[in-house]
Amino acid sequence: MSLEYFNEEQSIRMEGWPHVELEFVKQASDAEAQQWLDNMNALLEKKQSFVMLIHARPNSHFSPEARKAMGLWFKEQRESLGIYCAGVARLVDSVEHGERVVSERMKAAMPFPMMATIDRDKANQWMSERLVA
């Protein structure tokens, strides 16, 4: 089963199930950020395990209002994320970027395992292992 929540003009692309690929392509409007949070709610409402591959492009940004909404959403959904999200892999452009976005502090704060890599195959293998565990 595949979920697709994007079109070519959107700044946030999300597709797949239970291996969900999320790409932040460019600056998102507040409405697009809210739509993404609604789509994340739909994933959690399945009440099934999933993994996510996230790639944030250099020009992907959110307004302060969208960041606030995302922070509130995360607080509200933290428990569900811990139950259903089996892991998040961040696809990064460099090792240094990976160390910054998935620091030891970030890993300790998240309710799910995280990793960063420049290698999509390595990310896919890691995520597959999380879904089987």
3-state secondary structure 78-133: HHHHHHHEEEEEEECCCHHHHHHHCCHHHHHHCCCCEEEECCHHHHHHHHHHHHHC
Each residue of 90-116: pLDDT tens digit? 999 988 888 888 999 989 889 999 999
Name, in order, each residue with C-beta under 8 angstroms of 53's C-beta and a sequence gap of 6 or more: 19, 20, 21, 22, 88, 89, 91, 120, 123, 124, 127
d(C-alpha 60, C-alpha 11), whole Å: 8
- Place 132 in a pLDDT band, splitting at 50, 70 and 90: confident
Q: What is the pTM of this model?
A: 0.88
Tokens of 87: 């892991």
- Place 10 in a pLDDT band, splitting at 50, 70 and 90: confident
Give the pLDDT confidence score for residue 8 in this predicted structure. 55
Element (H, E) at 35: helix 30-45
Give the pLDDT confidence score for residue 126 in this predicted structure. 97
CATH of region 12-132, choose from 3.40.30, 3.40.525, 3.30.70, 1.10.357: 3.40.525
Domain residue spans of the chain: 12-132
Name, in order, each residue with C-beta under 8 angstroms of 93's C-beta and a sequence gap of 6 or more: 58, 118
Each residue of 40-79: pLDDT tens digit? 999 999 999 999 999 998 888 899 999 999 999 999 999 9
